[in-house]
């Protein structure tokens, strides 16, 4: 028995238990009494709505919802009383995210003036450039319906003169439409890069083809190609308002965080270094 009592490991364990008990006792003495849980009608209705939002809460028993909440709240409060939230990086990150959300949601920036929008456009013109646009019409030939779609397209091309602006009725149904006037990125997404690339190389004001795409065969008439350019205030107004609002919100949010950092008690031994 005496040999066991002289073991250093036993001394270490006993010291640890004593320190934990003293620290816990100090926390319990210093901690103010926890506020009571007040089960108002509005609070219980909130439990019901949250259960419905999560799914499966429709028609849930009110007392069951309250019991579940009280069980979770009791466990939560006891975990906090024991300090289990301290030193947990997941809990820390979650609280930081919630605080960031609260600070951002409390920021009010109002509406920007035309002067502020114009200043943003002049400061960052590349951010609001208008992409290149392409305006063209086409006739579609469906290989699933024709024995020789390319031959039919060539035959029609020989008939179409420069003055013929629309000829979709001479081809097959194309559900995406026959006339397009949109930025190049949008056209590539809708029609594919091959067809758009061919339209960028085709002559303006007359029919050309046949051109194959993932849909089938086309004849094209390019009406206009507009290069990428700097946007005007009115063209970029929507994007400018969104960008100004995001920038102003972030600026005010960072200012609020900065005030919290300034108020943070800090000891930095490095300042005493020679």
Domain for residue 184, yes or no? yes
Residue 93 and residue 64 share a domain: no
Residue 178 and residue 141 share a domain: yes
Residue 191 and residue 149 share a domain: yes
Q: CATH number for the domain including 142?
A: 3.10.50.40
Mean pLDDT of the region 200-211: 89
Which residues span the domain enclosing 78? Answer: 19-86
Element at 91 (helix H, strand E): helix 89-105
The confidence score (pLDDT) of residue 6 equals: 52
Worst-scoring range by mean pLDDT, 51-65, 105-119, 164-178, 200-214? 51-65
Residue 141's pLDDT band (cuts 50, 70, 90): very high
Residue 260 and residue 184 share a domain: no
d(CA 211, CA 204): 15
Whether 217 has a pLDDT exceeding 90, the answer reads yes
Residue 102 and residue 73 share a domain: no
Residue 211 exposed, middle or buried by CB count within 10 Å (0-12, 13-18, 19+): buried
Q: What total number of domains does the chain contain?
A: 3
Under 8 Å between Cβ of 214 and 102: no
Sign of CA dihedral 24, 27, 29, 34: negative
Domain for residue 3, yes or no? no
The confidence score (pLDDT) of residue 53 equals: 79
Whether 41 has a pLDDT exceeding 60, the answer reads yes
Residue 172 and residue 222 share a domain: yes
Domain for residue 12, yes or no? no
The fraction of the chain above a pLDDT of 70, given in percent, is 84
Residue 115 and residue 97 share a domain: yes
Residue 193 and residue 60 share a domain: no
What strands lie across the sheet with 207-212, from one edge to the other?
179-183, 133-141, 217-226, 207-212
Bigger pLDDT: 93 or 53? 93
Q: Is the peptide bond before 210 cis (omega within 30 degrees of 0)?
A: yes
Whether 127 has a pLDDT exceeding 80, the answer reads yes
Residue 52 and residue 41 share a domain: yes
Residue 221 and residue 141 share a domain: yes
For residue 221, list its beta bridge partners. Answer: 137, 207
């Amino acid at each position: 028995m005496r040999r066991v009592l002289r073991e250093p490991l036993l001394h270490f364990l006993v010291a640890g238990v004593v320190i934990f008990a003293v620290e816990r006792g100090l926390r319990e003495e210093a901690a103010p009494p926890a506020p009571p849980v007040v089960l108002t009608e509005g609070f219980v209705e909130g439990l019901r709505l949250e259960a419905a939002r999560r799914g499966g809460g429709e028609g849930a028993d009110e007392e069951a919802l309250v019991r579940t909440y009280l069980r979770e709240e009791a466990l939560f409060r006891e975990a906090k009383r024991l300090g289990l939230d301290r030193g947990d990086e997941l809990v820390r990150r979650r609280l930081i995210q919630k605080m960031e959300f609260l600070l951002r949601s409390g920021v009010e920036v109002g509406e920007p003036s035309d002067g502020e929008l114009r200043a943003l456009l002049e400061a960052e013109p590349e951010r609001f450039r208008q992409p290149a646009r392409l305006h063209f019409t086409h006739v579609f030939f469906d290989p699933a319906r024709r024995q020789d779609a390319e031959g039919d397209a060539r035959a029609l091309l020989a008939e179409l003169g420069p003055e013929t602006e629309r000829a979709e009725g001479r081809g097959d149904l194309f559900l995406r439409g026959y006339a397009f006037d949109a930025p190049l990125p949008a056209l590539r997404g809708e029609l594919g890069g091959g067809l758009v690339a061919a339209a960028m190389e085709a002559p303006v004001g007359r029919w050309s083809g046949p051109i194959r795409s993932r849909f089938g065969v086309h004849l094209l008439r390019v009406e206009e190609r507009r290069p990428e350019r700097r946007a005007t205030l009115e063209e970029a107004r929507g994007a400018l308002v969104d960008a100004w609002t995001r920038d102003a919100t972030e600026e005010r949010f960072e200012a609020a965080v900065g005030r919290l950092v300034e108020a943070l008690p800090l000891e930095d031994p490095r300042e005493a270094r020679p």
